Structure 1
Amino acid sequence: MDTRFLESFIMVAECGSMAEAARRLNVTSAALAQRLRTLEADLGHALVLRAGRTVQPTEEGLAILDSARALVQNTRDLRAIAAKGVPEGQLRLGATATSMTGILPGLITALSHQHPRIEYHVRPGSSVDLYHALIAGDLDVALLVKPTFALPKSVGWVSLRVEPLVLLSPEGADCSDLHRLFSEHRFIRYDRNQWGGQIVDRYLRQQALPVVQFLELDALDAIAAMVDQGLGIAIVPDWGRPWPEGLRVQKTPLPAGDVRETGMVWRKSGARLAAVMALIEVCEQAGP
């Protein structure tokens, strides 16, 4: 049985669409359909049910889905195991939105030059979700905001960027008196469910600023765009480029503010440890 056919079935089940699954796998819809027919013939059961443009696993398909995922993942691990310490095989990476564009491309470029046989599967998400995925074994490394709690001994940490808090305000706003500024403008809050948002919330409470909350969201570029439209002011970590183009906002450093630390956390064991440690070496060379 060709594990590519199992991978195709898994992708169709996750996407719920033949067209989207074909796009992600970089094959034609006809080729994907042929893979599914071959797999169904091998197993003797229909695995997916088509209803208009959507596709769902049958009862038999759902029954094998978890085992199929495990088999595909174990097959990918064989390359890493057979390499005997040489970095290759699939590396499962997680990254937050700002690090996905500002940090990760440079790391992957450097690592690809040194170890071209490493393959990458990148999962976007919040720091909280990526951390739990790493601990559960669903990721090998994650690029995220450093947690406020102590990390377990089973994982390692390397810092890549230290981001002080900055005030975002409309162009021309007088930021010399923060209490007056906050009393005159609505506040666009960085989501307190995010570790970075908790740093902002702690600063607001420490400074006893009179917050008139208007919005709360977890996308930093969206917060900056809201300030650009004159909807309010915000406090955010000074995240790395790229920032949204054409913003008309003032960015003012805040006195006595905390910082958001972004870095890489990784599992210290696993079949892909050689590739993980090659990436960590690149991270250490990049430094904060």
Structure 2
Amino acid sequence: MNFTDLQVFRAVVEEGGIVKAARKLHRVPSNISTRIRQLEASVGIPLFHRDRQRLHLSPGGEVLLGYAERLISLSDEARHVVSGAAPQGLLKLGALESTAASRLSGILAEFHRRYPDVRLELTTGTNDALVSAVAERRLDAAFIAEPPSARGLAWLPAFRESLVLISSADHPPITTARGAEGQSLIAFPNGCAYRRVLQRWLKRESLATVRVLELSSYHAIVACVAAGAGIALMPEAVLDAMPQARVRRNRIPRAQSAMATPLIWREGEISPPVQALRTLMASVVKSSGRNSDGRRTKAGK
């Protein structure tokens, strides 16, 4: 299996065909076709289903693409490390909306100052969606709500969040789960770790029998709570960033309210941009006085 063939293979997949891949790689289409045939002969299976002028990845091609991306990434990492070059290229970063809103502005500004040759794309989503995106290589790294349980992911503690239950300003104080009975819950869609915390605090196996209003914006959630539409659980740091919000803050036990936000990436595949972000976050953790050993911990351990 030739490394150049793998690079050509990935380009064909990314560009959606032979001609566009040839244009990207500054080669003639016949050369690209020959490379693909050589790679298919090497692995012993067809990598594409051919439908007239269109190519569709075969199941075997899907598997090989994952390995090709890992090998190319490792090659790029080795070249940058050995040469001592500054990180460059694209960093596809994910984050919870709460983290992006309340924690990342200064960090991303500092990252850009230190590593101006890295182009950063930020995607927000729920905890579970971000974990899946990193595991499936759609994101390089992500800030999530809790240490991941998925295999193959490494993590570094980043921020500590304190969750608070909010209700309308004129609602009586809520001190126990019983005090929340009869209230509609306002939350992010399924996959949100904070939604699961609220479910555990309410001592419910599921929220199927509870009225749930699903929203995808903390500003919308706070506005609905303030209007008396229901209650919600959210990081207090996000609420602190909304001084105009007229809501009541109700405390829940620390066992449920205290959460750590880790930075996750794929174990053994840490690229130069991810390594740079990890180094920056380790310094942030150290300066904040929290655990600063910079370890990479396997999920579930």
User: What TM-score range do you get, normalising by the shorter chain?
Assistant: 0.5 to 0.7
- Residues 7-156 of structure 1 correspond to what in structure 2 (within 5 A)? 43=29, 60=53, 63=56, 80-83=77-80, 84=82, 85-90=84-89, 91-147=91-147, 149=149, 152=151, 154-156=152-154
2:103 alignment partner AA: I
Change (3 A) 1:144 1:184: closer
Q: Does 1:270 align with 2:263?
A: no
Whole-angstrom CA distance in 1 between matches of 2:174 and 2:195: 24
Q: Which amino acid aligns with 2:87?
A: E
Q: Is the 8 A contact 1:155 1:266 kept in 2?
A: yes
Superposed CA deviations along residues 166-193 of structure 1, whole A, max 9, x for unmatched, are 1211123220654674246433345453
CA 1:271–1:200 in 2, change beyond 3 Å: closer, same or farther? Answer: closer
1: CA distance, partners of 2:131 / 2:167? 32
List runs of 5+ in structure 2 lacking aligned partners: 1-6, 31-50, 291-301
Residues 109/128 of structure 1: CA separation in 2 closer, same or farther (3 Å cut): same
Offset, 1:198: 0.9
Percent same amino acid at aligned positions? 20
Which SS does the other structure have where 2:143 is aligned? strand
Aligned residue for 1:131, secondary structure, equals helix
Q: Deviations over 1:54-101 (max 9, x none)?
A: xxxx9635548x99x999999888765432354412222222222223
Give the TM-score, by structure 1 length.
0.64
Residues 198-223 of structure 1: per-residue CA shift (max 9 Å, x gap): 111111118xxxx9534244544332
Deviates more, 1:193-202 or 1:121-130: 121-130
TM-superposition CA deviations, 1:18-40 (whole Å, max 9, x none): xxxxxxxxxxxxxxxxx99x77x
- Give the conservation status (yes or no) of the 8 Å contact 1:80–1:87: no
Pairwise CA RMSD of aligned residues? Answer: 4.1
SS of 1:174 mapped into structure 2: coil
What SS does structure 2 have at the residue aligned with 1:94?
strand
Matches within 5 A, 1:135-284: 135-147=135-147, 149=149, 152=151, 154-175=152-173, 178=176, 181-183=179-181, 185-205=183-203, 213-217=211-215, 219-240=217-238, 243=241, 246-258=244-256, 259-270=258-269, 272=271, 274-284=272-282
- Whether contact under 8 Å (2:169, 2:248) holds in the other structure is yes
1:242 Cα deviation after fit: 7.3
In the alignment, residue 82 of structure 1 is paired with which amino acid? R
**Structure-1 separation of matches of 2:200 and 2:265:** 27
Contact 1:200 1:236 in 2 (8 A): no
TM-score, with normalisation over the residues of structure 2? 0.61
2:131–2:148: 8 Å Cα contact kept in structure 1? no
* Distance in 2 (alpha carbons) for counterparts of 1:261 and 1:147: 8
CA distance in 1, matches of 2:146, 2:241: 21
